[in-house]
A and B are shown apart, each in its own frame.
Chain A
Amino acid sequence: MVKKKVAKFLALRYKILALIFIILAGGLVLLPKYKKHEGIKPEELLNNVINPERYISTDALAHKIISKDPSILLVDVRSEEDYNNYTISNALNIPFSKLLNEENEIYLNQDQYDLVFFSNDNFYADQAWILCNRLGYKNIKVLEGGINQWFLTILNPPVPTENMAAIDFEQYNFRKAASMHFGVAYPEQTKEVKEPEVKAVPKKVVTIEKKKEVPTEGGC
């Protein structure tokens, strides 16, 4: 009896094995779920995100732009409209909503340039940075405070009061020079030029007075 049963089972053994393989193959259907799990692990991403190393200060950026650092590439993540209105010199425009479009990947996924993301604050820039960091893109920084901070520190720096340290004056001088580089004009720039010209005018008058004296002499 037992032998018969075993023989029956053995006759079916290939079918049973084939069935098990089909079931295992069915497991593959579940795999596409893991496609969503692209990029680095959430824990790793969290570690990167809470690290403030990604921020670059407005002063450091201004210094890099003025010294024509070739490794830096500015990326404006605001809308095209905002970009056309005002942007930091030579910035590239990749609107946040188009960040992950294929044509932008060559800019983001490379290791030749240090990208600097900026927006009005650093809110959108941070969001963009987090998405790029998850994908493992390296060499991306975020301008701390964005364009608003850029305006407040570089373009329109607060004048230090007399009781502040010498460092503050040095910083102010740098920022003022930087702001001139970015197109801001100061009244004292032109004042210095004005003074010598004013002096030149009375000189002319003096020489003419001499001429007056000459004709009266000739008259007598």
Chain B
Amino acid sequence: MKELEKTKRISIATTLFILVVLIGVLSFKRPKNLYSFNTVETLEKIGAENLFVTLEDINNPDFVLVDVRKNYNFDRGHLENAININSAAILDDENIDIFKELQNTNKTVVLYGKDPEQAIAPYMILYQLGYTNLKVLPVENSYNQNKLITKTVEVEKYANDINGFIAESIKKSAVVKKPKVEVKPQPKKVITIEKKKAAPTEGGC
């Protein structure tokens, strides 16, 4: 009799335990956006990839242009066939759906903003979430009388020879110094000669 009670208790406890686990599993809500890569993987992958496309390539039918600037800038002027997804809103449900669909249809998303730097934030975040069909268009957009002017820029280019500039500036200021040094000895020489001349006249008298 005692043993029967013991086994009963064990089975009740295990059933309860399984129930708790099941409730936990069922009520667990998957986070909406999950990273697909950890940071080390991301670093390796973006280092190996060419993340830029050129302005000439954007007419490729597989490319979908995404303007990450604010809405009013987009309305003022944007590249042809671009869609507007502000970088602050890229994780909104409807926008994530757009990115998912583009990934499923093998399209490449080309991000651009006011300058290439503006496109990094959405690029990095979407990339880490697993959307690897991303490119950045390295352009600078500005307006001239409400007309959009798009200019290609080279990203991370060492634009100025700084060592050369510093050396040049030192040289420039040093050039002025040099004649001073040359000027000094000349009058001295003349002076000594004059002295000699004076001496013989003394002896003459």
Which residues in A have some Cβ–Cβ distance to B below 8 Å?
13-14, 17, 20-21, 24, 27, 35-39, 41-43, 45-46, 49-50, 78, 82, 85-86, 96-97, 99-100, 119-124, 126-127, 130-131, 134-135, 147-148, 151-152, 155-156, 182-187, 189-191, 194, 197-198, 201, 204-205, 208, 211-212, 215-216, 218-220
Which B residues lie within 8 Å of A24 (CB)?
Answer: 18, 21
Measured between beta carbons, the chain A residues less than 8 angstroms from B88 are 46, 50
Contact A201 B187 (CB under 8 A): yes
| CB proximity of B123 to chain A, nearest CB, Å | 9
Q: Is the interface of B mostly helix, strand, loop or mixed?
A: helix
- A197 CB to nearest chain B CB (Å): 6
Known: A24-B21, A122-B117, A187-B172. A151 touches B37 (CB 8 A): no
Q: Which of A39, A96, A131 has the most CB of B within 10 A?
A: A131
B interface residues, tally (CB under 8 Å)? 63
Q: Is the CB of B121 within 8 A of A190?
A: no
- A156 interface neighbour in B18, B43, B165, B180, Cβ under 8 Å: B165
Known: A17-B14, A24-B21, A35-B38. A120 touches B176 (CB 8 A): no
Of the residues A43, A126, A215, contact of B33 by C-beta under 8 Å: A43
B42 touches A131 (CB 8 A): yes
A120 touches B39 (CB 8 A): no
B156 touches A155 (CB 8 A): no
